[in-house]
Structure 1
């Protein structure tokens, strides 16, 4: 489904108050202000929430490579080309995930049994609005997934759904090397 809704990105050079502070935080952290965060800046509350949740999950037990794979899987599931493109790029360039593993992540798979269990559980949670069977959790635990990781998986899923839905709704222009759905 396509949308005609579009959010005009906020120009960091003309932003004021809280919005300017948040965009400066993004620029300091990333060296740039991606179109997604510039569009989110139309709602400082949204941008603040995104940055807080993003920062919180970055300090967790799941590795950057695991988080990037989860983001790729969720973007594919939700049809968000912006996030699929961004996380494929970050996964390859920053987390150093090879192309085959990134392609597997799009299908919720990995050659690593632990990562495969995380991806499968994440997609199952997303597809069922959190209503998963005890067997789904037991299967993940048998693959070595801890309760801490399951909790973080839900936090990462919430972050990824937030950005997926926003980018699709807002029609954010993709400023990453495009990866088609």
Structure 2
């Protein structure tokens, strides 16, 4: 049971109503996470805007979903793990690629470097080293890519924290956390 009200899109007003209509157009439904965040029009605008900006970024949707599941697992976010596993499949990732990404791994060296970096940022609360950033550069990422990766990490921390702290009910097919199994 959510710890806060889930805003009904049918009774939402103002910018929250506008963004919830856009979200419904994108997903066909309004996922519970957005209903929870709609309690704050500013937070909803920030979250939805970030999804749009990063989703059309240079790194691509599949890559973003792989980062999202790795971060969700580290933060024990059932909601984001379920949502982004499904979205990753829609973005062209195989079930195996998403399972590997959840574990912070990839058979693609460039994706593997980004997942390693993202996991380190989350686990070490952003206290990465020059060597960690150099590893991204060695894998082929430039400054634009590195900042975009940080944007994905920040967005996923935002969504993970909303869902975990506010106990938002999962409305996507469940995926088992690896972290819980460890």
Q: Which residue of 1 aligns with 2:155?
A: 159
After superposition, the C-alpha distances for 1:31-89 in whole angstroms (9 at most, x for unaligned) are: 21111101111111111110111111112111111100000000001110000000011
Match for 1:87 among 84, 88, 92? 84
1:141 deviates by 1.3
Question: 1:150 aligned to 2:146?
Answer: yes
Q: CA deviation at 1:5?
A: 6.3
Distance 1:137 1:30, change over 3 A: same
2:35 aligns with one of 24, 33, 38 = 38
Q: 1:121 aligns with which of 114, 117, 120?
A: 117
Please report the TM-score for the alignment, with normalisation by the length of structure 1. Answer: 0.93
CA deviation profile, 1:141-179 (whole Å, cap 9, x unmatched): 111122211100000001000000000111111100001
Equivalents in 2 of 1:133, 1:14: separation in Å? 48
5+ residue gaps, structure 2 = 178-182
Separation (CA, whole Å) in 2 of partners of 1:134 and 1:23:
41
Distance 2:13 2:130 in 1: 49
- 2 CA distance for matches of 1:5 and 1:55? 26
Moved over 3 A (4+): none
Count of residues in Structure 1 that have an aligned counterpart in Structure 2: 177
Q: Please list, as runs of the form range in 1=range in 2, the aligned pairs for 1:12-23 lying within 5 A after superposition.
A: 12-23=9-20
Residue equivalent to 1:64: 61
How far did 1:17 drift?
2.0
Taking only aligned residues, the RMSD between alpha carbons, in angstroms, comes to 1.3
Map of 2:131 onto structure 1? 135
Q: Using structure 2 for the length normalisation, give the TM-score.
A: 0.92
Report if aligned partners of 1:117, 1:145 keep a CA contact under 8 Å in 2. Answer: no
Q: What residue is the counterpart of 2:92 in the other structure? A: 96
Contact 2:77 2:164 in 1 (8 A): yes
